[in-house]
Amino acid sequence: MNYLTDLGRWFFAIGMAVFGVQYVGYGRFVGGLPPWTPGGAVGAYLVGVVLIAASVSIAIKKEGRLSATVVGALFLLCVVFLHMLRASAVVHDGVARTRAFEPLALSGAAFVLAALLPAEGEGGSSWDMGKLILLGRLLFAIPMVIFGVQHFMYAAFIATLIPGWIPGHAFWTYFTGVGFVAAGVAITFGVLAGLAASLLGLMFLLWVVVLHAPRVIAQPHNGDELSSLFVALALGGGSFVVAGALAKDARSLWQGEKPALGG
């Protein structure tokens, strides 16, 4: 595991830990908190405990592959069975769409991370891990294209989220939209994919510092703002994890080995 993947692993684990603490603290469904799991206090506490335990496991790399797989499966199942119950809203409403595709992207990152973490005991074959990386890569990349398109659909609103001291709000809104789409396409088709994923991770981390952190400081008791900050951190970490996986595959090609990404 290279330094980029390791950095991404820590960012991803921190995000999951915060989501878990929020679920336990709220004891109820919260719309803006991944992976969007209605079901009352029992469901909220269960998801919270699972995310906290998984985050610790991933951080210390103790049964990390299993924990990352569980997180990936949990987020994916929530998208398929919960968000799709509101499929009409996902299609027509930007907020519902974002709340569906954020956990889908995090699910993809978790699967890629699971494939990269060392196996303990009897692990899957390299072919299995390659397929898991391919699945995770696609689940991660597709939401990026959706996020990019939304920057054009809701440009006027998104421009209002950019701090006032940054000039050219409209330019940065469209620039980010293009970046999202380009990164998603690059990661999907494997064209400069490692570079695209790395730059995507850098963009998310810049958002954490420039956009989200000041909003959390200004509204320290606003749970939605806190969630948004750690969604960006986890997606930044996920981007670095994907970049690390793609870099590993590129090295395999140079060395004449079978690529791990299944393509």
Instruction: Please state, as a whole number, how many other Cβ atoms lie within 10 Å of the Cβ of residue 41.
Output: 12
Instruction: With a cut of 90, say whether residue 238 has pLDDT above it.
Output: yes
pLDDT, tens digit, 9 for 90 and up, residues 3-54:
889 999 999 999 999 999 999 999 988 878 888 776 678 889 999 999 999 9
Query: How far, in Å, CA of 219 to CA of 235, rounded?
Result: 22
> At residue 88, what is the residue type?
S
Question: Which class for 255: exposed (0-12), middle (13-18), buried (19 or more C-beta within 10 A)?
Answer: exposed
| 143 close to 104: Cβ distance less than 8 angstroms | yes
pLDDT, tens digit, 9 for 90 and up, residues 146-195:
999 999 999 999 999 999 999 999 999 999 999 999 999 999 999 999 99
Identify the residue whose tokens are 């200004």.
218
pLDDT, tens digit, 9 for 90 and up, residues 58-114:
999 999 999 999 999 999 998 988 777 778 888 889 998 999 999 999 999 999 999
Q: Sketch the domain layout of the chain as residue ranges.
A: 3-254
Per-residue pLDDT band at 235 (split at 50, 70, 90): very high
